[in-house]
Structure 1
């Protein structure tokens, strides 16, 4: 599996090992190996955007006489900020990790998965179905992962390889905090007119992320859900993690876009800075459907 250094990835590696799998756990640094060292967990250095690392992983799998039962594509990076403000270089970096790196790993391991009638489990997000102000870059990469998974599922179904998507909502990990320093730098670089448009939004995003994360499930709960996606004999095409993700994804299928906009904007507005009268600044209009 990719992205096993910490959080959901590390918890999933341990859960799968507990269930009897030998887990090749992709980590970014040597220092990440030690916390994962355990029976049936083999940490491997893996940057999914590095072609050499991906080739080395494929070679390691080819040397193993055991069949490859599953590939869990979990690696990811956060990326918050207004569409207008986010530099194209950052858009490309986010997509390199959250989409193209996973495509590269999947392509490299497909021969082994086909031989073993294995399974691809792609970790998407609630934001793979719903986006909102300030979350466009990350959500776009996850929407793309959802579309890629749909195509891959149909392409591989006749050949015995199942493709499953897991859509977490809030999960209590450090990933959400990892993007806050980048968000601060992004805000510091905004032009005055951009500050006027997005300054309050930029201050709201960290509080919104913190509240969403605090209300989420633990990494161990998420890991058990991902392990279910790996091991179910007849898996669903999609699994959600957490009540919020389940509710909002279902709502997105039936609500008009404008109504969904009102729901997400109202939730975000609660975290906008307020003036001395307790009013949000700026006062963001919420238009009807």
Structure 2
């Protein structure tokens, strides 16, 4: 155990009363549940017997996911994750329908499409990406916290490997995901005295609509991914592969989940690799030309 207190008495195991159950019998709320990681995680949670609340912007989309799973233990709800009142209402509806809420997976996210530079992006687009990816996570978590604390539950938030790799032409996304990571780290400590826990998910490239531009949907963006990421890290995994890691991580109350696992080595030495890769990107004139193309 690592302790930063100057009073070693504060570092006893009794000072970190993490609950070790996986909150069986309590429902799970998943945002961004209409597609991608969210929908795959909802299916995986239901396969393990959980009651699942599916939340996304459009009701018909989450209803379609619920129908595809094919039983009555799913509650579709439409809400905008940037709307605090709507999220409060969603939590109340979840509790009224299923009883106690034990897990919240704040997963909803968007990207600028196509990505571009800080100098050329529409300011409204930049702020919307941050609004959904960071403040939307904060508002989701804040709405669920009374239930999480009361039930010694678990919070999981979706960050990204972009929390620790260079966010060139994806600055609003990377900035938001770095903020989400810090939110989860702080929550983990703050919730400890309640017996509740928090964790952060760091997905790499995932085969979802968010990544379409980087995998053939936009020639310049695809070329940038191929140049900036080694082949082993530039491959996309399925949402189902990430979901499998997510449900295991929730059950274990893991502080960090990295998917796919090959990114774990990068995460472990991020403080060393980051400055080196930044230096290489600054000097790469081929990359500079691709950035120029995105700006025009």
Aligned residue for 2:243, secondary structure, equals helix
TM-score by length of 1: 0.77
- Which residue of structure 2 lines up, in the alignment, with residue 24 of structure 1? 53
Structure 2 CA distance for aligned equivalents of residues 85 and 218 of structure 1: 32
Aligned pairs (5 A) from 1:15-54: 15-32=44-61, 33-37=63-67, 38-39=70-71, 40-54=73-87
Question: Quick check: 1:47–1:54 contact (8 Å CA) kept in 2?
Answer: yes
1:171 alignment partner, one of 194, 201, 206: 206
Structure 1 CA distance for aligned equivalents of residues 149 and 140 of structure 2: 14
Structure 2 CA distance for aligned equivalents of residues 269 and 167 of structure 1: 28
- In the alignment, is residue 255 of structure 1 matched against residue 273 of structure 2? yes
- How far did 1:269 drift? 4.8
- Which residue of structure 2 lines up, in the alignment, with residue 108 of structure 1? 143
Question: Quick check: 2:66–2:74 contact (8 Å CA) kept in 1?
Answer: yes
Structure 1 CA distance for aligned equivalents of residues 284 and 264 of structure 2: 17
- How far did 1:268 drift? 10
Question: Quick check: 1:240–1:246 contact (8 Å CA) kept in 2?
Answer: yes
- Which residue of structure 2 lines up, in the alignment, with residue 161 of structure 1? 196
Pair 85,271 (structure 1): closer, same or farther in 2 beyond 3 Å: closer
- How far did 1:64 drift? 4.2
- Give per-residue Cα distances to partners, 1:184-206, cap 9 Å, x unaligned: 8xxxxxxxxxxxxxxxxxx6324
- Give per-residue Cα distances to partners, 1:14-38, cap 9 Å, x unaligned: 0000011100011221331123323
Runs of 4+ with >4 A deviation: 209-214, 262-273
Aligned pairs (5 A) from 1:272-287: none
Structure 2 CA distance for aligned equivalents of residues 156 and 243 of structure 1: 27
Aligned pairs (5 A) from 1:53-68: 53-64=86-97, 66-68=99-101
Pair 221,265 (structure 1): closer, same or farther in 2 beyond 3 Å: farther
Question: Quick check: 2:200–2:257 contact (8 Å CA) kept in 1?
Answer: yes
Structure 1 CA distance for aligned equivalents of residues 288 and 269 of structure 2: 22
Aligned residue for 1:140, secondary structure, equals helix
- In the alignment, is residue 227 of structure 1 matched against residue 247 of structure 2? yes
- Which residue of structure 1 lines up, in the alignment, with residue 111 of structure 2? 78
Pair 265,170 (structure 1): closer, same or farther in 2 beyond 3 Å: farther
Pair 243,207 (structure 1): closer, same or farther in 2 beyond 3 Å: farther
Structure 2 CA distance for aligned equivalents of residues 114 and 175 of structure 1: 32
- How far did 1:49 drift? 1.4
- Give per-residue Cα distances to partners, 1:43-74, cap 9 Å, x unaligned: 11121112342122021133246321210011
- How far did 1:264 drift? 5.7
Question: Quick check: 1:120–1:164 contact (8 Å CA) kept in 2?
Answer: yes
Pair 267,205 (structure 1): closer, same or farther in 2 beyond 3 Å: farther
Pair 230,263 (structure 1): closer, same or farther in 2 beyond 3 Å: farther
- How far did 1:158 drift? 1.0
Pair 21,65 (structure 1): closer, same or farther in 2 beyond 3 Å: closer
- For structure 1, the 5+ residue unaligned runs are 185-202, 274-279, 283-289
TM-score by length of 2: 0.75
- For structure 2, the 5+ residue unaligned runs are 1-29
Aligned residue for 2:258, secondary structure, equals strand
Structure 2 CA distance for aligned equivalents of residues 229 and 221 of structure 1: 13
After TM superposition, the structure 1 stretch with the greater mean CA deviation from structure 2, 204-213 or 5-14, is 204-213
- How far did 1:98 drift? 0.4
- Which residue of structure 1 lines up, in the alignment, with residue 123 of structure 2? 88
Structure 1 CA distance for aligned equivalents of residues 65 and 197 of structure 2: 31
